[in-house]
Structure 1
């Protein structure tokens, strides 16, 4: 392989020239090199290692660039960053690291390229390309990272127990890379993750969520969640999921394993949408089943109101993991809460039920249908086809009802002000009663979603409530 092909962007020649002016050995290292070899597309971020001052090199590169980009300096870490076109380039001085037991933030000393490669998380991320004029494009591979790329293996450069104990986030990264690249974590390394799993407690929730999101965004997220469960990390991070694992049997009656079912649903939805928060909804859609599981002699296993319980759990889970408690969390909550609605609806697709579904789901009705379709995990091909056909009918009915009745983001055809004016009353509970009555009549299909019909119904309901109209329409 001709590695010079990776360095065709003129920025590498400018970095090489700048390094020569400062008398620094300089290399491009890590993900950029790995992804070039794997042909994973054009990288949007590049890591540059200088044997010497990375900050000084960044400033020299900026000086040699025509547009003189701003250099962001992070003195604490001895790094600097600049943007070139749409690429983020980070410069760091080669270093060796040592760690305290209660922190993943290293004590840093200047080092050689070899020291810097030793501190890398995985052999496939320790690959470096020389940027010096005389050796431009030469590959440095001290840990046989190329062989691991060929064999699709995740392995640490040094003793995995030390690598993971020093920086426990690397355990999450190992699983994330295995998921993204569809690689195998080497046996010693995987066992080391299990041995060091409790070290994950020193990692901030925010950093853990970044890795979880990347696993969820992968083509087949179940790879990562199975590894998280196998190594024991999932119990620390998402105990709501591990609580779903296992099958109980009473009097010969069993329920399905809701953990493995959940992972199937996540893989299914990953085939149809890149929406991260809809993937979160798929991951959490059944978490309410563990606390609501009951056995009844006459009907067997039940999970009564698990959707309501699950939607409440979403808030606590997001709060614990320091995830956004904004519209994204509310979206996941709504999807979890409504996750069974279309399933019940598919048995009897009435206009009224569809109107209520569209009213309650609003703009998210399409996402809800996508989630429910992903929830079909039966291995029976006849049932599989039947359920999908049912949901297809529901989607068609949604389009038909929506085009006719315009229920999505429903606004009452008669406003509170119009009601007050019609009956010459001040704000009162009667206004709410009338508006609710009109809304129900529209959803039931008793009247069309039009102003005139709604106004007539308003007058009738007002009279029933003892109000006297003083305006004739």
Structure 2
């Protein structure tokens, strides 16, 4: 406990440039103010925050007036929920009026009622480890629901009855899974039971809010823990049904692997390789590659067939999976660029297995690069992660073969600039050579020259023009 107190003291001293003036400002105006939620929890875990959340007895109009007198910039988009935000130097601050919120059983949006006490405000928060506060300006620690004890036991528990908490805001059921993934905490069995019993309540929450929680979960350090909890409680069946569908019944001889467990392992192995994606991500977790790992086999349940001898096949599960992935991500309101990238990776994730022991021609390698496009590095990660065999000889053979493919890509890229793969003639040169104007014929000619480029590599303008004229003469 002494270590925790010391860590909290250091963090409070670090953020004193915000705590002290704001505490004095609100106190002088006759209002209570407290640092709350994640910043308090993470201070005890030794984690620093520059985004700070406060709760106050002041109503939004008073909060806005006080913050404008102190901060560099103020925003009020959250006013309807009692929240006023501001920036002061490197600090981002949100101050929210004490409140309680609840859901009408038929409504997707919470109703907000302002409260009058800090303890009442903390009681409406999702978990006890997020229901701690530091009252300002005197820096008094407030923990009415045993958050410190739960933090010590690495346990997620609601301040009151979980049924009441989840009834007030069903999204908290997803937050339980998200915090399990972010913090590596266990979830109280009473909370798990309530999540299972009330899973259908998540249906009233908007797709956008569900998406945001799933993104945070997938990007967390321990996504397997959160995803497993969603499957165990039945929530995944309602928000990401393709995941529990992977828990296929095995045939009696256990001749095919557990696709659900395989998927979670592929996700973890993909995360282990994210260092390769630093140029795309800046070094942080990569949502696209993690979603691709999570969704890469979702086509298997629909394509599973038992054949003679008890063998199981999943023909075309890559193509079917890409369609299912696109539909699910669209339903969750993901951005188009994310949907396109993840769907492409799912569709291409088996392509390498046609490489065999390296028999691909240079033309096939060029097409692999062309089809992957700007997702090539992520495709490398997904393909390598997709090897979960316990047969070490087989795993080593696959690794060596993919090493060889990457080496060939690197060699061809250096020789032919694969990343900028285009025909030897552009559209203007095609029209000049054929004596035609803009139109669909130019597109057909362009695709002919691109296929030629893929098959034979760079030809030079003269050879490409001769081939184009020969092709054109055979079109009549």
Same fold by TM-score, threshold 0.5 exceeded? Answer: yes
Cα-to-partner distance string for 1:114-166 (whole Å, 9 max, x where unaligned): 1111111111001111213xxx2221111121111111000001011111122
Distance in 1 (CA, whole Å) between partners of 2:126 and 2:195 is: 13
1:261 CA displacement: 1.0
3-state secondary structure, aligned to 1:408 = helix
1:51 aligns with 2:62: no
Could you say which residue in structure 2 is the equivalent of 1:130?
135
Could you say which residue in structure 1 is the equivalent of 2:99?
95
Within a 5 Å distance, the mapping from 1:409-448 to structure 2 comes to: 409-425=420-436, 434-445=445-456, 448=458
Q: Is contact 2:52-2:94 (8 Å) kept?
A: yes
Query: 353, 360, 363: which is aligned to 2:364?
Result: 353
Could you say which residue in structure 2 is the equivalent of 1:379?
390
Could you say which residue in structure 2 is the equivalent of 1:178?
180
Cα-to-partner distance string for 1:371-399 (whole Å, 9 max, x where unaligned): 10111111222222222222111111111
Q: Is contact 2:102-2:167 (8 Å) kept?
A: no
Instruction: Note the residue ranges of structure 2 that are not aligned, 5 or more in a row.
Output: 275-284
1:63 aligns with 2:69: yes
Cα-to-partner distance string for 1:200-244 (whole Å, 9 max, x where unaligned): 011111011111001110123111111100010000011122221
Distance in 2 (CA, whole Å) between partners of 1:449 and 1:278 is: 35
1:29 CA displacement: 0.8
Distance in 2 (CA, whole Å) between partners of 1:390 and 1:350 is: 14
Q: Is contact 1:163-1:170 (8 Å) kept?
A: yes
Distance in 2 (CA, whole Å) between partners of 1:430 and 1:57 is: 65
Distance in 1 (CA, whole Å) between partners of 2:61 and 2:35 is: 15
1:22 aligns with 2:22: no
Cα-to-partner distance string for 1:325-349 (whole Å, 9 max, x where unaligned): x222111111111111123225324
Cα-to-partner distance string for 1:236-256 (whole Å, 9 max, x where unaligned): 011122221123316x46322
Could you say which residue in structure 2 is the equivalent of 1:158?
160
Between Structure 1 and Structure 2, whose CA radius of gyration is higher?
Answer: 1
Cα-to-partner distance string for 1:416-464 (whole Å, 9 max, x where unaligned): 443443343456776555544433333223x534323322322333444
1:351 CA displacement: 1.8
Change over 3 Å in CA distance of 1:214–1:353 after alignment to 2: same
Could you say which residue in structure 2 is the equivalent of 1:142?
144
Q: Is contact 1:58-1:80 (8 Å) kept?
A: yes
Distance in 2 (CA, whole Å) between partners of 1:391 and 1:419 is: 37
1:283 CA displacement: 1.1
Instruction: Note the residue ranges of structure 1 that are not aligned, 5 or more in a row.
Output: 467-473
Could you say which residue in structure 1 is the equivalent of 2:220?
218
Distance in 1 (CA, whole Å) between partners of 2:220 and 2:59 is: 36
Could you say which residue in structure 2 is the equivalent of 1:235?
237
TM-score normalized with structure 1 length? 0.90
Could you say which residue in structure 2 is the equivalent of 1:469?
none
Q: Is contact 1:217-1:270 (8 Å) kept?
A: no
Q: Is contact 1:126-1:145 (8 Å) kept?
A: yes
Moved more, 393-402 or 6-15: 6-15
Within a 5 Å distance, the mapping from 1:313-324 to structure 2 comes to: 313-324=324-335
Distance in 2 (CA, whole Å) between partners of 1:449 and 1:176 is: 54
Change over 3 Å in CA distance of 1:295–1:56 after alignment to 2: same
3-state secondary structure, aligned to 2:74 = coil
